Amino acid sequence: MLRKIVTTSKVAWSFLTINQFYKGPVKALLEHPLWFPLGRLSYCAFLAHWFMIHLLLDGGDRLAHFVSLWHTYLTVTIPVVFLSYIIACAS
């Protein structure tokens, strides 16, 4: 329990230090304009992937059920990620 409190305190301290007081290389790296298009693309893919999940899982005539991890990975995960980024690039 003490370990969780210490870890949380360290993360909070580093977050406050970077955002409020210390404007060093980490903040300069994170605010670089190179990240803006990638951030928008990943956020758009995040929004689109919910629709892709519903399209793939609710579009069939049978209920979705678990077969194996490989089956789920090949028939759900890869198509959802691929189609989400296609939609994100198109918009």
Domain spans in the chain, listed from the N-terminal domain onward = 1-32, 35-91
Q: How far is CA 25 from CA 19, 31, 37, 53, 68, in A?
A: 12, 10, 21, 39, 45
Q: What is the pTM for the complete model shown? A: 0.63
Closest CA to 65 of 80, 55, 76: 76
Instruction: Yes or no: say if 88 and 45 are a contact pair by the CB < 8 Å rule.
Output: yes
pLDDT of 40-88, one tens digit each? 999 999 999 998 888 888 877 777 778 899 988 898 899 999 999 999 9
Q: For the segment 8-41, what is each residue's pLDDT rounded down to a tens digit?
A: 998 888 878 777 766 677 777 778 898 899 989 9
